[in-house]
Structure 1
Amino acid sequence: MKIERLLSIIVILLERKKVPAPRLAEIFEVSTRTIYRDIDTLNAAGIPVITYPGVNGGVGILEEFKLEKNLFTSEDLSSLLTGLSSISSAFSSSEITNALIKLKGIIPEKRLKDIEKKTNRIIIDLTPWKNTNNVSSDLKSIKSAMDKNKILTFKYEDRQRKKSTRKIEPYRIILKGNDWYVEGFCILRNDFRYFKLSRISDLKITKKSFAPREIPEAEPENGPIQENIIILRVSVDKSLKGEFTELYGEQCFISEKDSKYVADIPFADNEYSYRILMGFADKCEILEPKNIRNEFISRIKKAAALYKM
């Protein structure tokens, strides 16, 4: 992962005067171009990494800037530790553990206790409550394939329940809301695609390697991951206030009368969203839009038909 590589580059450059960019590329098993992009990232963060030309050249941190390891503020370091700890909860990777150790290694001992105290104020645990879909195992396999530039194969079921077998070059893992996705170059579609891990089965790392491509900018906010969200107006029994507040926020309630609330909630027109509403049974009624209400009525009738005597 990029954050691990950036931290490791900092540690290496703090310990050495300069290192050739191709050597760094070899250490981290990436292209020299990627190393130069990392250098740009570090410079943008205020760490002056400079390039020395010539036969004995390389890259290094400006000597005057090596201020007794005071490279980051306490807030910077606690944020980095929190981020890495959250990632390790999902991946349980030795690389991430090593990155945590290295990061703590560049913190002066007199500051470490205060920084760890700040870090422990926020805990982000990305492990799922239920691991029925083997998400953790798939995440580890995908990361391993990315690290080794190996093609993945798996069976996939899309939103319309169409099934296909896919081969992809994996490039990115994304957590969007409660769902994990892998972004990769799909050989079947000859283009970059997002795949939801909960719809993946029979995931395998092949022995076939691929040459990394230039990947598009990440756009999980507005990209293909984004579901088509519409606003539902619903009538909700007051006994569901706690659940609705947890799911949609206090601001979803717009009025109340007797034992009911009227609420506006975001809704993705997919199976998962319908199942959530079906779970509220007779304590939640869809008021509008009409097409969603009619679809819901149709689903209720099909369910009721199963129990006709």
Structure 2
Amino acid sequence: MKLSPLTKKLIFFAIQHSKTIEISYIDQNGQQTERKVDPYQLYYKNTSWYLYSYSLDKGDFRTFKLSRITSISLLEKEFDQKSFKSTDNTNPNLNFSLSKIEVIVHKKSRDKLIEGVETGELLEVDKNHYQTTLVLPDHEFGYQYLANFGTTLKIIGPDFYLKNYVE
């Protein structure tokens, strides 16, 4: 299922503003459920995006694969951040901002890039490379996403993002 580019933006907004969201989710058995969750983090792992959140229905933290979310609504309810145990996939540092990144991507990774995140217009640099913009968190998970491209993607700006990525 193709993920709407607005889904990640809405989730990022909800995380940054501590807003509860309601999602329609299809589990691994094909059952669709409605869930009210307090979103904590988005992270990228093994070619997929995931949402780590506190499920109000289950009373515990849950992870949702974004490609299984069929609809999402932002609710007016604000939530207080709960402490949670960091795992390999999560990090308790929730203070991050979204940054517009300029990149050059090799043609063999172009499809992977545009299927993973919303991009700006793809401008052909030469017969093998494209330049575009994308919006990612200035945070470990944004850096991890870019690192998955290896040498087929080069960050060209802004300088602060490149500096944070290298550190």
Higher strand share: 2
What value does the CA root-mean-square deviation take over the aligned residues? 1.7
Residue in 1 aligned with 2:27?
158
Residue in 1 aligned with 2:60?
191
Alignment of 1:69-108 (within 5 A): none
Residue in 1 aligned with 2:150?
none
Matched to 2:44, the amino acid is L
Matches of 1:202 and 1:169, distance apart in 2: 15
Matches of 2:49 and 2:82, distance apart in 1: 22
Instruction: Please give the secondary structure, in 2, of the residue aligned with 1:180.
Output: strand
Residue in 1 aligned with 2:78?
209
Instruction: Please give the secondary structure, in 2, of the residue aligned with 1:184.
Output: strand
Matches of 1:207 and 1:196, distance apart in 2: 23
Deviations 1:26-85 (A, max 9, x none): xxxxxxxxxxxxxxxxxxxxxxxxxxxxxxxxxxxxxxxxxxxxxxxxxxxxxxxxxxxx
Q: Give the TM-score of the pair, scaled to structure 1.
A: 0.28
Residue in 1 aligned with 2:69?
200
Higher relative contact order (CA 8 A, sep 6+): 2
Q: Give the TM-score of the pair, scaled to structure 2.
A: 0.51
Residue in 1 aligned with 2:3?
133
Rg larger in structure? 1
Deviations 1:103-127 (A, max 9, x none): xxxxxxxxxxxxxxxxxxxxxxxxx
Higher helix share: 1
Matches of 2:25 and 2:82, distance apart in 1: 23
Instruction: Please give the secondary structure, in 1, of the residue aligned with 2:12.
Output: helix
Matches of 2:55 and 2:37, distance apart in 1: 4
Matched to 1:133, the amino acid is L
Matched, 1:146 2:15: yes
Matches of 1:146 and 1:220, distance apart in 2: 16
Asked whether the 8 Å contact 2:2–2:67 carries over to 1, the reply is no
Aligned length: 90
Residue in 2 aligned with 1:279?
none
Residue in 2 aligned with 1:232?
none
Instruction: Please give the secondary structure, in 2, of the residue aligned with 1:153.
Output: strand
Deviations 1:266-289 (A, max 9, x none): xxxxxxxxxxxxxxxxxxxxxxxx
Matches of 2:65 and 2:36, distance apart in 1: 14
Distance apart, 1:218 and its partner CA = 2.8
Distance apart, 1:202 and its partner CA = 1.4
What's the % identity of the aligned pairs?
27
Matched to 1:190, the amino acid is G
Matches of 1:165 and 1:137, distance apart in 2: 19
Matches of 1:144 and 1:215, distance apart in 2: 20
Matches of 1:215 and 1:146, distance apart in 2: 15
Matches of 2:28 and 2:46, distance apart in 1: 17
Distance apart, 1:172 and its partner CA = 0.8
Distance apart, 1:220 and its partner CA = 2.8
Residue in 2 aligned with 1:171?
40
Residue in 2 aligned with 1:182?
51
